[in-house]
Each structure stands twice: as C-alpha cells, then as structure tokens.
Structure 1
Amino acid sequence: MKINWGTGIVIAFALFITFILYFVLSVQSNSKYDNELVVEEYYKHDAKFGDEMVRIQNATDLAQKPVITNTSEGITIVFPDIYIPKDIKGTVSFYRPSNKKFDFDVPISLSGSSLLIPAKRLVGGRWEINMEWQYQGKQYLTKEIIYIK
C-alpha cells in the first residue's frame, strides 16, 4: 500500500499529538515532578506585602542586627548583647525552594544571645531563612539565603 503525502502528514500529526499527550499525562501523574505553588494562599500573602516591607525596613534600620551564620554545627543566629534575650519572641522559618517537604519553623526562645539549629535538620542545598521577631513591641523581619554543603 502506497501512502501519499497527505496521509503522511496526518500520521505525523497523530504521532506528535500522541507523544505530547503521553508526556503531559506522565508528568501530571508522576510524584517526582512536583508542581505545587510556592505559597499556599498566594493572594492572602500578597495582601500583607506592605506590612512585610515595614518589618524588613525596621530590621534594616537597626544599628546592631542579629547575625545568621552557617557553621559546622548548623545555623547559628546571634543577637547583639543590647537585647534582653527573654524579651525576643518570634519564629525562624526555613524554606527549601526545591521541596516543600523539608520546610520547618523554629520558635525563638532564648536563654542566651544565640539560637542554634542543628545541621542534622538541614539537607544540603539552598535554604531561605525568614526570621520574624519582635522586641519591645516593634516587629522585624530578617531574610537570608544560605547554602548548606
């Protein structure tokens, strides 16, 4: 049987459409290809953006800022000595852009001037650290990006 050029084009289109449908269905059904949103409630988060900028500016205006460092023991957050440790309240959020399952929060409860997050809780790669804290009624937001080896 001879195939003319019109039939060849239709067969080529059919094979191409079959390939695309197979690819789309396999990506949607396979859990290896995660296509979740970065933030669950995006619009609620976006509505609070102005407040977030005020808290970031408050943290930027500080004369002595908390220092976030990556050590062999883990992530260390050191507050300057001018702050009374028991008056500092808040949370430190660890966000892993590549996998939501690794995200976690740590409450800030200090007895000294530093907070240590052990290295065993952190998988290697990029981490975004958002430290939301308040001191004497004023709110602050400190953001850092750290790479763990």
Structure 2
Amino acid sequence: MTSPITAPPKRSAWPYAIVAVFVLFAVYIGSMVYQAMQTDVNLVSADYYQKELAHQQRMNAVARTAALPTPVQVRHDAASRRLTLQLPAALAGQAVQGQVHFFRPSDKALDFTLPLQLAADQRQLINTNKMAPGLWRVQLDFTAGGQAYFLEQDLTVIE
C-alpha cells in the first residue's frame, strides 16, 4: 500500500505581514527621532534676561498709562486729515519727552517715527495727508516726571 501524497501545508502570509508592519513602524519612528535630534531648537536667546526686563518695563509703562486720571487721547479726524494726541492735564508742568511711532503692519517700508512735540495745552497735531490709506498702529512712547508711559492704538486712515 502506498500512502497518498500529501501536499505541504499552506503557509499563511499574516505573520510576515505583521512583522513587516512592525519593522516599517520602527524604521519610521527611528527616522522621526533622528530628524528631531538633528533639528536645532533655540527657544532661549542669548540676552533673554535683558529682553525680559525690557518687556517688564514696557508692561509697567502700559499699566502706568492706564492708571492716569484721564486717558491719553489719540483721535483722527478724517475730514481734516489730522491726528490729535492729547495728554492728560495731570502731566502738565512736567518735562515730557518721547516719540510717536507709526507702524504699518502690511508694509514695513511705510513705518516712520516723529518726535513728541507738545503745545502748551499738552496737545500735538499731526498731519496724515502723506499716510497711505489703511490700518496703522500708533505707538506713543514718552516719559514725564521720570516715569515711562506707553500707549498703542490702531488707526485707520481713509482716503
């Protein structure tokens, strides 16, 4: 009697597929770790302490400006194309020095700075004829009586 010829058992591809998936995943994670290790991340600048002090001084100046008895007023009259800066009367009689920065978020080339030159009534008028229409940020940075003050306000210039 002869024994019937039996076919070798069929091998399943599932174990190989599972191992291949794990190997590919390990290679992917390894490449991501390698890439992350090669990336230079500088979260702290060399002069971070000085920058923190400057930021804190700016925040103190903003708080001091907000605490004034009457607010600093920045008004734009589109009809006469003039910007009026009005400091509170509480600062009258003090030596006021500072600058007015005009910052254009959409075009750095249009930014400019003017000196703060107040009249006797604590007011300065600025002509806005040459300013391009659109959004501007007016930053008023000044000192009075040895104290720093800072105000930032958005301004929209219309043709």
Structure 2 residue corresponding to 1:144, chosen from 128, 153, 159? 153
State whether structure 2 residue 101 is matched by structure 1 residue 93. Answer: yes
Q: Distance in 1 between matches of 2:50 and 2:138?
A: 17
Alignment of 1:3-18 (within 5 A): none
CA-based RMSD of the aligned residues comes to 2.1
The question of whether the paired residues in 2 share the 8 Å contact of 1:86 and 1:110 is answered with no
Map 1:31-70; keep pairs closer than 5 Å.
46-47=51-52, 48-70=54-76
Question: For 1:101-120, what aligned pairs fall within 5 Å after superposition?
Answer: 101-112=109-120, 113-120=122-129
Q: Residue type of the partner of 1:89?
A: Q
- In structure 2, what residue type is equivalent to 1:104? F
SS at match of 1:50: helix
Following TM superposition, by how much is the alpha carbon of 1:80 offset from its aligned partner in structure 2, in angstroms? Answer: 2.5
Unaligned runs of 5+ in 1: 1-42
Distance in 2 between the 1:68 and 1:142 partners? Answer: 9
Equivalents in 2 of 1:133, 1:46: separation in Å?
19
**Distance in 2 of aligned mates of 1:92 and 1:44:** 27
Cα distance in 2 between the residues matched to 1:55 and 1:147: 25
Match of 2:15 in 1: none
Q: Which runs of 4+ in 1 moved over 3 A?
A: 43-47
TM-score when normalising by structure 1? 0.65
SS of aligned partner of 1:109: coil
**Partner Cα distance (1:137, 1:66) in 2:** 17
Aligned residue for 2:83?
A: 75
Aligned residues: 107
Distance in 2 of aligned mates of 1:129 and 1:109: 15
Distance between the aligned counterparts of 2:49 and 2:81, measured in 1?
Answer: 36
| Structure 2 spans left out of the alignment, 5+ residues | 1-47
Q: Does the aligned pair in 1 maintain the 2:100–2:113 contact within 8 Å?
A: yes
Structure with bigger gyration radius: 2
- One-letter amino acid matched to 1:64: T
- Contact (CA 8 Å) 1:85, 1:111: kept in 2 or not? no
Show CA shifts across 1:111-149 (max 9, x none).
332111102231110001110111111110011001111
Q: Contact 2:94–2:144 at 8 Å: present in 1 too? A: no
